Amino acid sequence: MSYKRVLTVQDISCFGQCSLTVALPILSAAGLETVILPSAVLSTHTGGFKNFTVCDLTAEIPKIAAHWQEENIKFDAIYTGYLGSAAQINYVKDMFKTLGKDGLIKIVDPAMADNGKLYTGFDMAFVEEMKTLVYSADIILPNITEACFLTGVEYKESYDESYIDEILKALARNGAKTVILTGVSFGSDTTGVMVYENGEKKYYKHTKVSKNSHGTGDVYASAFVGALLSGKGSYDSAVIAADYTLKCIQNTVSDAEHWYGVKFEPVLPYLIERING
């Protein structure tokens, strides 16, 4: 396997095991040269903490990108997570054009919504900008809520496979290439991921843990990117990421004091074994 360089663009929540504090160790453990571009620095993530601090780094993004261009620094893949504004989305689109090696893989996790609602601070104007990024990417990793905002399909909590087909086809019509649709659950005790690629879909089902854990979307997306850039196919990468994320949750669920994230670090050897297997 060749040594590949990936750029990940998302925020740093200094405490809380999400965003870049998850992406950097997971991608590095997968054997990738991992370069980070922070979109903001927060003292903690926003899920359950009070009085957290935020430093917006939007103004630094084009300066960093320009310096990389001067130094001819290029990437095999660019992977985006949480982006805080339309300006940041547009800067990423510029980087897709200017900072990629031949065959650049563009991977977008449109982290903007869950449980039928947009995250605080986002509106439909932001959704419209996110669409331009999503539909220019090679691989996207939306949850069902995000996919509904990206397509205009009505959000439903209860659904069948035909509803998922409707979402996948709507994403494809709008320009999505490979879709990794997360949180697809057809029963109360299981959940899974639907992979849609070249007009074909594959579903991977696994055990559902009732506890809601912060940062698992970032764990999943980072593990997926790590597996993919290590040579696994889209479906196999989706399966590895799902199994790894589940083990991280299971490694944490009995610790009531560890409510702010998942203990992903002790499970990294499992991820490495699966990627190298």
Identify which of 60, 14, 55 has the alpha carbon closest to the alpha carbon of residue 37: 60
Contact 45, 245 (CB under 8 A): no
Tell me: pLDDT of 213 over 90. no
Strand 54-56 and strand 33-44: pairing?
antiparallel
Contact 236, 223 (CB under 8 A): no
Contact 205, 190 (CB under 8 A): yes
**Secondary structure (3-state) at 175:** coil
| pLDDT value at residue 1 | 61
> pLDDT (tens digit, 9 = 90+) per residue, 143-202?
999 999 999 999 999 999 999 999 999 999 999 999 999 999 998 889 999 999 999 999
Tell me: pLDDT of 209 over 90. no
Out of 3.40.50.300, 3.40.50.1820, 3.30.1540.20, 3.40.1190.20, select the CATH number for domain 5-276: 3.40.1190.20
> pLDDT (tens digit, 9 = 90+) per residue, 29-70?
999 999 999 999 999 999 899 999 999 999 999 999 999 999
Give mean pLDDT, residues 87-108.
98
User: Considering the chain, what is the average pLDDT of its residues?
Assistant: 96
- Phi first, then psi: what are they for 58, rounded to 5°? -55, -45
Give mean pLDDT, residues 96-106.
98
The domain locations on the chain are 5-276
Report the 3 state secondary structure along 110-166: CCCEECCEECCCCCHHHHHHHHHHHCCCCEECCEHHHHHHHHCCCCCCCCCHHHHHH
**pTM assigned to the model:** 0.97
| pLDDT above 70 coverage of the chain, percent | 100
